Amino acid sequence: MNLHGGSSYCLLAVAIFILQAVPFGSTEQVVIEVPGYAKAVLGGYGNLGTAYFEPHRKFYSFRSLYYAAKPTNETRFLPPLTSNYPYPDDEIVNAIDFPPGCPQGGSYKGESCLIVSVYTPYFPGNASDPNTNYDNNLPVMYWIHGGSFDSGQNIIYQPNTYMSYDVVLVEVQYRLGPLGYLTLDTDEIPGNAGMFDQIEGLRWVNKFIKYFGGDPNAVTIIGESAGAASVNFLLLAPQARGLFRYVIAESGSMLTEWALDRKGGKTGYRIAELADCPMEPYESLLHCLRNIDEVALHEAQRKFSREDYENNGLGFGGQSPVIQVAGKERALVREPKEILEDGDYPTDAILLMGANKHEGLYCANYLYSHYIRPFGLAEDVEYLTYDLVPTILSALGTTDESGALSEAMTKKIFRLRIRRRADGKLDCYDTRPY
């Protein structure tokens, strides 16, 4: 949402009117200058209260700053185009309203969602003030949300904990599911659009974050789950070099099987078929994918996922990054493991990775909800006893021809046996000695 006036005087009058007339609960409003982006950006002072920990300070909130233009039909699956900034001097950019999430099925519609949200406890002052300097700007945390590459949005993650510390927090939204990662291995639909969104968001930070109190030379990219895999991919993407110095990956990696679709083109064509697009000629297929309703496209990807479950797959095809073989820009062109082994990445970047104990239970629940229960295996004693672990290994791409690994995992990791009681119900018992 943008507010328009007729002149610089009108701009000031509108801004003053907004500051005085619009109630906003505990959040006051502020207008700042961001040279090269907008003469006036309307933000909030404080967000849902204050920072959670001492010193419980208020902070500035800018929730809806477009770093890229809304994709058109022709650019739907391509790297993003820069937004139409700098905005006219008589335009106030509204960064108070909560932004819409990117399409992810259900009620999420509208592809104008490529925004960053900025939260900062430090405001160096407006650029037109000769007393303003940027010598004391704070480190920047660039947050990439998780959600299996097909769900999530900025509004889910509130900044109050971070704002207890001397950091500037930037949250980025990126295209999800097939809109972000579908590929036909062609220049028109090359894949990894969502990854390029994250890179464009970093470029925006590099250009403008100093006006929000952040240091563009001290950027940490941080993410959880699919967000963690994303920051790993950014570490390898040539286009992202020089845009960050530190990397934090929480509970996710680009080396996991679900984080990379190695059958991208084949998957893309199958999703197009499930979306009832014509397969030939190519121009008709392309027109269909560029114009199909985003909810219908996500539903076609979900149909593919269900097919993949039936074939002991993970169901992530069409919604995960791919090794690109097409496109004018290519963010990933080789296996991540090969790139790491060759040292073809910024080796001076400082990397922190971690996982939580027992978080694999989430994957176990995912397997139960999407495979075991839907296919009637929850009461199959033979399957649960002998075939469950081999199924998991197969889905993860792990070879175990002898079965030794499956047996070892069953005994040493699960350490359970399943039997049917006299009343017909299943019973699990622990095989560990006491």
pLDDT for 226: 95
Asked whether residue 175 is domain-assigned, the answer is yes
Residues in the chain: 434
**42 within a domain of the structure (yes/no):** yes
Question: For residue 285, is it within any domain?
Answer: no
* Whether residues 383 and 254 fall in one domain: no
Q: Which domain holds residue 424?
A: 360-430
Handedness of CA 11, 17, 19, 25 (dihedral sign): negative
What pLDDT was estimated at residue 416? Answer: 57
Last residue of a domain, one of 232, 259, 286: 259
**Identity at 142, one-letter amino acid code:** Y
Residue 329 domain-assigned (yes or no): no
Nearest Cα residue to 340 out of 254, 239, 282:
254
Residues 373, 225, single domain; the answer is no
342: how many CB neighbours lie within 10 A of its CB?
9
The pTM of the full predicted model, rounded to 2 decimals, is: 0.84
Domain endpoint, select from 212, 230, 259: 259
Q: How many independent structural domains does the chain possess?
A: 2
**DSSP code of 6?**
S
pLDDT at 419: 61
79 part of a folded domain: yes
Residue 14 pLDDT: 34
Distant-in-sequence, close-in-space partners of 290: CB < 8 Å, separation ≥ 6:
73, 74, 76, 77
Q: Who contacts 69 (Cβ-Cβ below 8 Å, separation ≥6)?
A: 80, 81, 82, 83, 84, 114
Instruction: Return the pLDDT at 76.
Output: 97
What is residue 31's DSSP assignment? E
Cβ-Cβ contacts under 8 Å for 92 (sequence gap 6 or more): 2, 3, 4, 5, 11, 14, 15, 18, 31, 38, 40, 41, 42
Exposure of 253 by Cβ count < 10 A (0-12 exposed, 13-18 middle, 19+ buried)? middle
Query: Which residues, including other chains, have CB under 8 Å from residue 216's CB and lie 6 or more apart?
Result: 140, 205, 206, 207, 209, 210
pLDDT of amino acid 369 = 81
The secondary element (H helix, E strand) that includes residue 224 is strand 214-224
C-alpha to C-alpha distance for 182 and 320, rounded to whole angstroms: 8
For residue 379, give the DSSP letter: T
Q: How many helices (H) and strands (E) does the chain have?
A: 12, 13
**Total Cβ atoms within 10 A of residue 416:** 14
Residues 251 and 111 both lie in one domain = yes
Radius of gyration of the chain from Cα atoms? 24
Tell me the average confidence (pLDDT) per consecutive run of 10 residues in the chain, 434 residues long: 36 34 53 95 74 80 94 97 93 90 82 95 91 95 96 91 94 97 98 98 98 98 96 97 97 91 96 98 98 95 92 88 97 96 94 86 74 83 80 76 82 61 64 44
Q: Are 120 and 103 in contact (CB under 8 A)?
A: no
Residues 6+ apart with CB under 8 A from 21: none
Please check whether residues 365 and 255 belong to one and the same domain. no
Task: Answer yes or no: is 288 within a domain.
Answer: no
Instruction: Choose the final residue of a domain: 259, 285, 307.
Output: 259
